[in-house]
Chain A
Amino acid sequence: MYLLCAVKKWGRVLFLLGLLVVFLVAIKLMGSSFKLLGEDTAESLFRGISNPFAGLAVGILATVLVQSSSVTTSAVVGMVSGGMPVGVAVPVIMGANIGTSVTNTLVSMGHITSGAEFRRAFAGATMHDFFNLMAVAILLPIEMLTGVLQKSATWLTGVIGFGGVAYKSPIKAFIGTLAKGPIRLVTDVLDLSGWAASAVLLALALALIIISLVAITKTMRALMAGRLERALNNVLGKSGLLGMGVGVVITIAVQSSSITTSLLVPLIGAGILAIEVAFPITLGANIGTTITAMLAALASDKSGGLTIALVHLLFNLTGIGLLYPVTRIRRIPVQLAEALAWRAQKNKLWILVYIGGVFVLIPLLGILLFRS
């Protein structure tokens, strides 16, 4: 029995490592798919979302569609590796932060028939939305004017080791070797080139990113369930930085901020987790989720991959730094969420207007109005 458990456990660990390799190969393929187009074509393609609002809208919509900011941010890392300018990618990353918060809002719909329980659950879910919206509303204009996040991330990339020094990572070399297989399959065996080869590789890369991330998340959740439970039990009734730390750790462990924030919704709905206690956990999830883009950067050819991953981290850290320390400001997203939840409890039309508007209609309009 003990032996069987050991085999099962180590089997899962090996399976996870395999999935991680698949994920990194997919990121590599994503970059390669754009390189196959040639620099000029790829550049003209990315120019379509060079307007920051268009990029933001694409980030929101793409994340809502795949229900995972990790997929969006990893794909962006791959695209930056394939030639997308970091400046164009920054608003997309910010959009992914907003888009990912729709998942726990949808989870809160499970409580829709129970008045007060729904109100609590919906407020608990949408406080994440409001925080992310506020962070973008403050930081996107600042970034547009100063490029402070990009500059800081570029500097940090240099400090970490990409700053002009040729460093041959063994992981990168291994992933590069593995990625050659599918590339040869498309270009030599299928005899495709240009747009066709790029489209096939891009589709393959996206499919592999989604499949590997879903599998990693599910496996990690199964492996970490006991720890998750203990962490949540420990944080009940406590607040502040401890909760934020728990949010970071849980999200890194399960590789998904949506899982962390969605786990909180039923607990808030049931009334055993106060919304003020859940709030820092949610913010911790924002930080924890940036690990996926960091992992993706391991497969990135260019320093831009790591830079955009660091932008994601810096954006979330700065957002928390601006909106969390002062109690009055910290209360704003929670109060907005509670006000919306009161209205949504009384009239369910508010839910439709809110979700449809913030996560679908406004991003669609943004793309239509601002794309170049």
Chain B
Amino acid sequence: MWKWLNRANPEPSFGEFRRKFDQMLGHGRHVFDLASNAILGGADPDVIRDDLFRTDKKINKLERLIRREIVVHATVHGTSQLPSCLVMMSIVKDAERVGDYAKNMFDIAAQTAKKRDDIHADLVKLKAAVSALLAEARDLYGSQEEAGARDFCLRADKLTDHCDQQVNRMVGTEPGTSQPALSALAYRYHKRVMAHLQNIVTSIFMPVDQLDYFDEDKASRDS
């Protein structure tokens, strides 16, 4: 009876959401790496297509599962954990969007020339940094470490600024690459992936009403 009553504890359900969310982030990094390898690493898109789309479906399935379970959780437990439920509802969307942007990246992979210019080298460095951020976001969400989350956002800010500068360069007179439109899109997609990771990580230290609005706080972080 003791074991039975212990299993009746309401707490584990949020741990279960976090475990599934962690899986989503893991899958997110995998699809991002697959897609960026297709663009930058010269991997054959046809070879990685199945893996990428299968993993993205897993992400989408986990998102729907977490959403359903959050509704059940809120129905059973009432409003006591409502803010946490709302945060989770918001950040699963961000995790799902990482998969979507990876697919967008994959879509332009076939058109991208594998020419090794300066922009290509810069994108390779950016890809490595974003992939590391994906892993770090997963760790930070697991540990809920606030100082690390703030530091993550500062570093992500710098990288997104760099993406903006590069996009501005692509639309200028000296794009520095033979495929400025595709390169601009690649920077744009990397930037969006980082933005969604920042949404996830800021949930560690920002109140629920300010989720997704960390950009507005950027000036104060920079100063």
Contacts and interface: CB of A to CB of B under 8 A. Distances in A.
A266 B9 contact: no
B54 interface: no
Given A226-B13, A229-B13, A229-B77, A266 B71 contact: yes
Given A229-B13, A229-B77, A267 B72 contact: yes
Interface string A245-277: 000000000000000000100110010100000
B72 A226 contact: no
A223 B8 contact: yes
B5 A9 contact: yes
A228 interface: yes
Contact of A267 (B6, B9, B11, B71): B71
A9 B5 CA distance: 8
Interface string A213-232: 00000000001111111101
B69 interface: yes
Interface in B79-128: none
A224 B72 contact: no
Interface in B121-177: none
A227 B71 contact: no
A13 interface: yes
A7 interface: no
Contacts of B13: 226, 229-230
A13 B72 contact: no
Given A226-B10, A266-B71, A232 B5 contact: no
Contacts of B72: 229, 232-233, 236, 267, 272
A229 B76 contact: yes
B68 interface: yes
B73 interface: yes
Contact of A233 (B7, B10, B11, B69): B69
Contacts of A228: 76
Contacts of B10: 225-226, 229
Interface residues of B, number: 19
Given A236-B68, A272-B68, A229 B73 contact: yes
B75 interface: yes
Nearest to A265: B75
Contact of A13 (B5, B12, B68, B76): B5
A89 B45 CA distance: 74
Contacts of B73: 229
B95 to A, nearest CB: 19
The listed residue with most A CB atoms (<10 A of its CB), out of B6, B8, B69, B77, is B8
A9 B2 CA distance: 9
A266 B75 contact: yes
Nearest to B69: A233
B12 A226 contact: yes
A230 B11 CA distance: 12
A236 B67 CA distance: 13
A225 B8 contact: yes
A224 B8 contact: yes
A267 B75 contact: yes
A122 B185 CA distance: 48
B137 to A, nearest CB: 26
A226 B81 CA distance: 13
A270 B85 CA distance: 15
A270 B12 CA distance: 23
The listed residue with most A CB atoms (<10 A of its CB), out of B7, B11, B69, B72, is B72
Given A9-B5, A13-B5, A225 B76 contact: yes
Given A267-B71, A272-B68, A272-B71, A232 B76 contact: yes
Nearest to B1: A13
A181 B76 CA distance: 39
B24 to A, nearest CB: 17
The listed residue with most B CB atoms (<10 A of its CB), out of A228, A229, A236, is A229
Interface of B: 1, 5-13, 67-69, 71-73, 75-77
Given A232-B72, A232-B76, A233-B69, 18 more contacts: A9-B5, A9-B6, A223-B5, A226-B7, A226-B8, A226-B10, A227-B7, A228-B76, A229-B13, A229-B77, A233-B68, A266-B71, A267-B71, A267-B72, A267-B75, A272-B68, A272-B71, A272-B72
Q: Which 10 residue pairs across A and B have the least CB separation, nearest first? A: A225-B10, A226-B10, A229-B76, A272-B68, A266-B75, A227-B8, A232-B72, A228-B76, A270-B71, A226-B9
